[in-house]
Structure 1
Amino acid sequence: MHHPIFFLSLLSHNIVIFLFFFSHFSPSTPAMDEGPAVKIFNATEIHIFGDNLFVCQIPNKVFSTSSIWFGDNPLTYSAPLIMFQVSIASITLRTTAFLLKPLGQPTIVSHIIGGIILGPSILGRSEIVKKNLFPPTGIMVLDTVGWFGLMFFMFLAGVKMDPSMIRHTGRKAMTLGLSVFFLPLVVAISMAFILGRYVPMETGLKNSLPYVAASQSITAFPVISGLLAELKILNTDIGRLAMYSSLYGDLIGICATAVSFVIQKQHGDQVLPAIWETLTSITMVVFIIFIVRPAMLWVIKQTPEGKSVQELHIFAIFVAVLVAGLVSEIIGQHMVLGPLVLGLAVPDGPPLGAALVERLDTVMSEFLLPIFFVVSGLKTNLSSVQPKASWVLALVVISSSLVKIAAVMLPSLFCKIPKQHALILGIIFNAKGIIEITIYNLWKDGKVKLPPPPFSFLFSFIFHLLRPLSYANYQQILNEQVFTLAIISVVIVMGIVTPLLKTLYDPSQKYRPTNRRTIQQNNCDGELRILVCVNGQDSVPTIINLLEFSHATQQSPISLLVLNLVELVGRACPILEPHEEAHAIQSHISSKSDQIVNAFKQYELHSQGNVMVHPFTVISHFFTMDEDVCRVAFDNEVIIMILPFHKRWTVAGSVWTPNTGLKTMNRKVLDKAPCSVGILVDRRILGGLTAAELLLDPVLSYRVAILFMGGSDDGEALAYSARMARCRTVILTVINFLPAKRNNNHDNINEADKNKSVLEDFMLNSAGNDRIEYREEVVRDGEELVTVIRGMVHHGYDLVIVGRHQHKDSTLLSGLKEWSECPELGVIGDMLASQDLEATFSVLVIQQHRLRVVKRGFKLINRSMANRPTTTVQKDNNNNNNVVQTDNNVAQDVQPELNQV
């Protein structure tokens, strides 16, 4: 089977040959022998007639028939040339990204700069590079591949977008979307016309300035979501508000594009073709919505839950993308319109949307899309830029950026958005990316027909639908100089926006309470607020067992927040909602999630009012999910959160493939948690009693061991085990490890005194409880400690509790830190969770909450937290029901302002 590049190259060359013969024999075209210039590049003839360039190549020059050992040059053939081009481009872009990473630059900046390096501005100035690496025919093939990649990118962008989310946004997102769209548009267009009238400039710059000015009003959803994902702030209040506001901007742009199209066709001389183009375009959209989308929904219904979509269905959709692009071209649209609409019609999320994203995302982001940036860089020529034009365009870009910030600051006065939040949002809305690059390429290549002057600014919306095009009377909107300046403006703006956001906005700062939230300091007879995170059904029984033995009573009830963790796949917008609302928004939430919630609801009913369950669902990427976890814990004053360990055991004692995303989330939560944290290592499947078994047989007991070596984490673990010891079915064993030789320095003496005080308080509060056993183990070093812990395997414990960190100078841990594989569990916790231990008991590793110093200075976001609206769960003492109370009446307004419990 031939390589796909073969077909691309063959198609490109056939088109070139056709253009050559058409231009040669057409009466309206000068004869070829009258051409003023003929150049030869790698068996390619370049004919120049005025402003027109005709590229002609000998056919069947795809693969080399010989080799370099016979004097043949492989770069004269299309397939070897594009392989070499892609290889050089990949190396250049990767190197550029590596060099710019310490400066905090985003991927798009490195891609554009890499393309400029390969272009006529730097390496392209060399005749050797120009003739061998990027000859005209080679650029044509590369350009074809780049636009092919852009077509699939637009399809993928449509798959990730969820237009229905607009129904769930509120007035803040709508107000910001309208303001950020119209105010910069009016100001930029006005400034462009004023500069064009009163500032002397060349004709090309004067004619294109309104278009470049109008493009500054673009706030594209794919660009905003990509930036937020790269900065890992998708899950923050600001991130959600920015994304939903950009959705409104996209919707307005689509409507404006339709108006522009109708007006243009009304001014055209040929009314009937315009009507046919309109009708066929509407027909294509209707066909996709009412025929193709129901077919996709049928595919989803035919796919069993938890299973992957059949490869045949995936292949059919990929073919449909190509057909949609072809139909778009046939009816007069640009080729990306059909794939974009088709992507919007794909049901987002698993199983179909997730499968498409999984198969396309890496190829798009790492291969096809960078080629498009390289082609853009090859069109960028810094030597064509004149200083006066630079200052004129810089004035337009800078003023538009400031107006965008003002367009957010003004509505913030009426929407009760803190000024610091508004400033951050204004900076985010100034982001530019692939959509702007696409529009500039279309204008540079002359792939649009100019509308009447009063409506020229509407071309800034072409990226939304890539409006219907008439392939007659093409005009180039951007010349080489203006195109170069427009591309450079994208690089400069993104080069400033991204580091500025990293400097000004640190979302982790807001999850730092002023008081400690620990079990030790919590009132023993007061309410205990626990947050449990669940990722799958397997760990639910163990979590419920742990909660059942945590001794919930009428005097000391448990307020339980259940956070169902669902990985975000196949969509761009994360969700954090109460489970019922999340299910209404995202119908693809599986029945397994419902089963998880039902299990905790049954536990609530069984507790006879001593436990109140509040289920939530978070759909997000694991590398940003820590924001949601910490947010819910902070807003609801949680005392301790229980996280699932990233490893799961099988019945045979082996370990399933670890969930690396969950491991990353756990580590981030431990670093920024606003309360104490416990990581639960679930080995229930290997043995151990359940709460139901204990209820059926009162003789049985749930055996718990607490390993105490000293330190705040061990103190917190001891406090939690003391609460469990109040349960009549729990037998608690406290094992106090003491060093054989004590270091008598001042710090160790103080630490020993604190540990002794904690143990004395525990024994005093537990006096009279005959289900508590206390013993001491004297060990000399880490080796003896390991021996004692291995001996615990045969004591029949169901749960072992340990602190994450012990005293840093403890001689008990000597030689053990170097062998730790899971630092999130600590040295002892890692040892207890090791597969080599061959234990059947579960492990709970606890880290006590510590107050951290709040950084000030440039982290503007810290100062506005007092104004954040919250939604918290309170208990109505009159009827024992849960009441959701919202302050400021704004938390219900937008998802971003959200959905704490």
Structure 2
Amino acid sequence: MAAATTNRITSAGLVPGLHRSEIMVCQSADNLNSRGGSWIGKDLLSYTIPLVFAQLIIIFIITRTIFFLLRPLKQSMITAYLISGIMIGQTVLGRIREFSDLLFPIEGRMVLETLGELGFMLHLFILGVNTDATMVKRAGRNEILIGTSCFVLPYVLGGLVVYTMPHIIFIDEVTQHCLIFISIMSAISSFPVITTLLADLNLLNSEVGRTATTSSMVCDFCSYFASLIMGFLGISKRFTRMGVFLSIAWAVATLTLVVIAVRPVILLIGRRIPENGSMRETQFLAIVVLALLCGLVAEILGQPAGLGTFILGIAVPDGPPLGSNLVSKLDVFCTGVLLPAKFAVSGMDIDLLLAGTGTTTAIIEFIIVLGYVGKFTGTFIPAVYTGFSVSDATSLSLIMCCKGIIEIAVFITLKENAMITSEALALLLGTMLIVTGTATPLVCYLYDPSMRYLGYRTNSILHSDPHTELRMLVCVHNEEDVPTLMNLLDITCPGRHRPLSVSVLTLTELKGRADALLFSGTSFVRGSNKVNGIGIKPSKNTPADRIANTFHAFRMRHHGAAAVEIFTSVAPYASMHDDICTISLEKGANIVIVPYHKRVSFNGDLAANVPAIRMVNQNVLQKAPCSVGVLVDRGKVAENQAIRLGVTLLRVTMLFFGGPDDREALAYCSRMADHTHASLTLVWVRKTADKYPSNLDDHEKDIDAELVHKFRSTHAGNDRISFKEEFATDAVDTTRVLRALKGHCELCILGRYHDPKSELILGITEWTECPELGVIGDMLATTDFKFSVLVVQQLPQGTAMEHCHTFEPMGSSSRHSQSSEVSKQYSARSYIEPLKL
């Protein structure tokens, strides 16, 4: 049959193919570039290059539009790719002859399909780079049980039904052949698909997310092992024993070549990339060429090219600097532009309307649904057995039932190799869209990782005995955060009569890997000079090692008075707060110290270093189960290194306006009062008219007054402790008090929340830039002030104390818990007695 348009010099016809009759297209060799033919009336889309450009643009617009519409339903980009491919295909737009002939003619498929395969191959390489195959070694007993069960149960259940069903009802040979592969595919839970879904839902570093990540890796290994056996069995039926031996030999040779020859080259390239730098162009091109070479070798051995690149990707070290550089350079273009073309071309042959209502359709759909039921059950039962709640086990089971790009690619490959029919492909994709599309919003509704710590409240500083151990969690994003934190900890640890337990959490953004990490690093115990009982390990001079060594030095300076434990979190910024809150809950922290998202620039102003850190701080302030301190570092505390040598005093000022947050800040300052190298000034700002701030009721006024007087009487006669009482009538007087602090302190400590209706700050709230610091804290963080600021919050705003539960940290004694004080409503006595100033 000849082409319909006169400008398109093409012809097409049916020829015998490998599995069925296929369409062969003959096209003019000069039909590549239009060379301005549109100016003389020629059809621009009859040329290859303009047609491909138009196709990519249309696919991109349709895909992004669908993704935008589906975002409120928590759907992934892969779902949008699949739906756009189906829409372009015969199900929707492909039925419009004018549309398909104009933009997606037969002769325009080959180039688009080649670009799509290239994008898919490189996307698999990216997925391989993000994959850490050694995760299986770290899998615990629970993850192995869940991962194995969620594969074996649907695999065995589907196989038994497929084997017994032909003995019950009549099934034609083609359908029976399809059911075998459908039952096998139902057991797969792909690691890249699960981790991508968890990243979209911000659940990578949650408890359910980590279990799903490791379990999917175990399930992947089970499916690879089963497919390997099935493949060799299939080869043995078609070929001689020598053919089977050669097939196995070539597969082993390919893996050996990647591990022995290619991986050392990649590791050598990775070692030459700076720690926080980017890779050179020659290094990037060398790895891309190696990826193409592995794809070529896979094609020569009769395997898909994507399999070769995926294996190479696994051989590439994940994470920075190599893995993160590769992902950042390849991901956007390959995944955003080329990959949708793969689904568009595949969707042209998919017609969901082929799914009829006959017996064959019902049988195929029954096997598909049975596979999902088996996978859900195979995950749910062992999850409940290993200690998950019913709600969390349901969420985990729904996650493991989700399928994505790997399964879609396998479905399409099975269809192209005539292993399943077009009807089976339509049913598989349609059911996958329904299950995955329903599961993701259900998981968001059922599972909130913050619920494990939102309902609990660890001891605040105010309610803890000052002579017991103060438990602090300090968060470090990079080495610049360490000096100020070190001096802050130094003046917080006056001696053995007030011991300090510090948990250090090093936070790193997840880059170039698929799974989030949270692990305990080097643990230092009070009174011990050994690390984990085997002595101090030599430093490798990495940033993490230098941070750990610095806090080890702090522990040695306060020998017997301080304990330090190091943790490392590798997670996306969107869910990094989960690790912070989890560690604070498990360690029973009294306060969490997080760095401010702005740093001092070269001209002395504060500038945003990593804006995403602000989101982390906001989430911690909102969800933390304990008090939170936001440290605005201007270098003044870090510069005062002499406090460690006892040469000079670190001048600290406490601003007290009243309220729960200011009381918590004062309780923290009381920990510094006995330190010989710190001077403390308490500035009580009061309203002139009635001697008390108008934003507090009488009960709160009594609490504030008694607490301040208790502090004064306790430290009377201490020349390092001073007290000032400032009276103000409005925000102007408050500003005057704040400006008087210039040049008189290196660190100012205050509470976060103050009533915005108070006359003392009325009008200032309109200029607040960073609400996470509070009204006064935000003002002190402006360029008018040069000292560092610590803003303390006692409870997330809006959290009622009577609705919180107490939490007894693991391994802590009863003296570390004030559950009776926390569980009851606050009273004046309950605020004063536990502090014992």
Q: Secondary structure at the match of 1:526?
A: coil
Q: 2:160 is matched with which residue: 190, 208, 213?
A: 190
**TM-fit CA distance, 1:110:** 2.4
Q: Please say if 1:840 is aligned against 2:791.
A: no
Question: Which of 757, 770, 777 is the matching residue for 1:829?
Answer: 777
Superposed, 1:115-134 pairs within 5 Å as 115-134=85-104
Q: How well do the aligned residues superpose, as a CA RMSD in angstroms?
A: 3.0
- 1:747: how far off? 6.0
How far 1:270 sits from its partner (Å)? Answer: 5.4
Equivalent positions of 1:158-557 (< 5 A) are 158-196=128-166, 198-199=168-169, 204-269=174-239, 272=242, 275-388=245-358, 389-412=360-383, 415-446=386-417, 476-515=418-457, 517-557=459-499
8 A contact 1:552–1:611 mirrored in 2: no
Q: 1:710 is matched with which residue? A: 658
In structure 2, the residue matched to 1:631 is 582
Q: Cα offset for 1:709?
A: 2.0
Match of 1:814 in 2: 762
Is the contact made by 1:689 and 1:702 (CA closer than 8 Å) also made in structure 2? no
Following superposition, the deviation at residue 377 of structure 1 comes to: 2.8
Please give the residue correspondences for 1:575-654 in structure 2 after superposition, counting only pairs within 5 Å.
575-580=517-522, 591-654=542-605
1:634 alignment partner AA: L
**Distance in 2 (alpha carbons) for counterparts of 1:784 and 1:794:** 19
Closer/same/farther in 2, CA of residues 391 and 805 from structure 1, 3 Å limit: farther
Whichever residue aligns with residue 812 of structure 1, its letter is: L
Quote how far apart the aligned CAs of 1:654 are. Answer: 4.2
Give the Cα–Cα distance (whole angstroms) in 1 for the partners of residues 660 and 230 of structure 2.
67
Q: 1:688–1:840: 8 Å Cα contact kept in structure 2?
A: no
Determine the structure 2 residue equivalent to 1:895: none
What aligned pairs does 1:735-750 form with structure 2 within 5 A after superposition? Answer: 735-739=683-687, 748-750=697-699
> Does residue 660 in structure 1 map to residue 604 in structure 2?
no
Residue 416 of structure 1, CA deviation: 4.3
User: Which consecutive unaligned segments of at least 5 residues does structure 1 have?
Assistant: 1-36, 447-475, 857-861, 878-901
How far apart in 1 are the matches of 2:435 and 2:539? 38
CA–CA distance in structure 1, aligned partners of residues 349 and 767 of structure 2: 54
User: Aligned to 1:767, which of 716, 729, 737?
Assistant: 716
Structure 1 residue matching 2:671: 3-state secondary structure: helix
2: distance between equivalents of 1:831 and 1:744? 19
One-letter amino acid of the structure 1 residue matched with residue 569 of structure 2: V
Cross-structure match for 2:828: none
Deviation at 1:390, TM superposition (A): 4.7
Give the direction of change, closer, same or farther, for the CA distance of 1:627–1:697 in structure 2 (3 Å limit).
Answer: closer
One-letter amino acid matched to 2:405:
I
Per the TM alignment, residue 298 of structure 1 is displaced from its structure 2 partner at its CA by 1.9
Q: Tell me the amino acid that sits aligned with residue 518 of structure 1.
A: S
CA distance in structure 1 between the aligned counterparts of 2:43 and 2:704, rounded to whole angstroms: 78
Match of 1:733 among 675, 681, 692: 681
TM-superposed deviation, 1:815: 2.6
What is the aligned partner in structure 1 of residue 503 from structure 2? 561
> 1:753 offset after TM fit, Å?
4.3
Of residues 59, 67, 79, the one that matches 2:49 is: 79
Q: What does residue 885 of structure 1 align with?
A: none
Distance in structure 1 (CA, Å) of the matches to 2:397 and 2:247 = 38
What does the per-residue CA deviation read over 1:514-565, in whole Å, with 9 as the maximum and x for residues that have no partner?
Answer: 4452111111111110011111111212111111111343232111111111
Counting matched residue pairs gives 794
The 3-state SS of whatever aligns with 1:46 is strand
Pairs within 5 Å for 1:773-784: 773-784=722-733
C-alpha change, 1:52 and 1:115, in structure 2 (3 Å) is: closer
- What is the CA deviation profile of residues 398-430 of structure 1, one whole-angstrom value per residue up to 9, with x for unaligned ones? 322222222123334654444443332222110
1:45 is matched with: 11
Q: Which moved more, 1:46-55 or 1:90-99?
A: 46-55
Q: CA deviation at 1:676?
A: 0.2
What is aligned with 1:701?
Answer: 649
Task: Quote how far apart the aligned CAs of 1:818 are.
Answer: 3.1
**Alpha-carbon distance in 2 for matches of 1:347, 1:744:** 59
Q: How far, CA to CA, are the matches of 1:514 and 1:575 in structure 2? A: 24
Tell me: CA distance 1:778–1:413, structure 2 relative to 1, closer, same or farther (3 Å).
closer
Displacement of 1:129: 0.6
Q: Deviations over 1:647-698 (max 9, x none)?
A: 22245414565212322211111111010000111112x57653x4135454
The 2-side partners of 1:396 and 1:259 are apart by 22
Bigger Cα displacement from structure 2, 840-849 vs 501-510 = 840-849
Give, in angstroms, the shift of residue 282 of structure 1: 2.3
The farther-off stretch of 336-345 and 812-821 is 812-821
Aligned partner of 1:153 among 123, 138, 145: 123
Cα pair distance change 1:149/1:393, threshold 3 Å: same
Q: Deviations over 1:734-766 (max 9, x none)?
A: 223334567998965555444334423333433
* Cα offset, 1:205, TM superposition: 3.7
Q: Write the distance in 2 (CA, Å) between the matches of 1:516 and 1:775.
A: 32
User: Equivalents in 1 of 2:383, 2:92: separation in Å?
Assistant: 45
Cα distance change of structure 1 residues 776 and 747 upon mapping to structure 2, 3 Å threshold: closer
Q: 1:726 to 1:248 in 2, by over 3 A?
A: same
TM-score by length of 2: 0.89
Work out the CA distance in 2 between the residues paired with 1:505 and 1:541: 39
Decide whether aligned partners of structure 1 residues 407 and 593 sit closer, same or farther in structure 2, where only a CA change above 3 A counts.
Answer: same
Partner of 1:793: 742
Which has the higher mean CA deviation after the structures are superposed, 519-528 or 816-825? Answer: 816-825
Q: Distance in 1 between matches of 2:540 and 2:67?
A: 37
Question: CA 1:116–1:197 in 2, change beyond 3 Å: closer, same or farther?
Answer: farther
Q: Is the CA contact 1:689–1:798 (under 8 Å) kept in the aligned structure 2?
A: no
Moved more, 348-357 or 197-206: 197-206
1:138 is matched with 108
Task: Give the TM-score normalised by structure 1.
Answer: 0.83
The secondary structure found in structure 1 opposite 2:278 is coil
Q: Give the drift of 1:802.
A: 1.7
Query: Take 1:678 and 1:408, find their aligned partners in 2: how far apart are those partners?
Result: 40
What are structure 2's unaligned runs of at least 5 residues?
524-530, 533-537, 816-837
Name the aligned partner's letter for residue 627 of structure 1: D
Name the SS for the 2:580 alignment partner. Answer: helix
- For residues 678 and 774 of structure 1, what CA distance do their matches in structure 2 show? 23
Which of 669, 673, 686 pairs up with 1:721?
Answer: 669
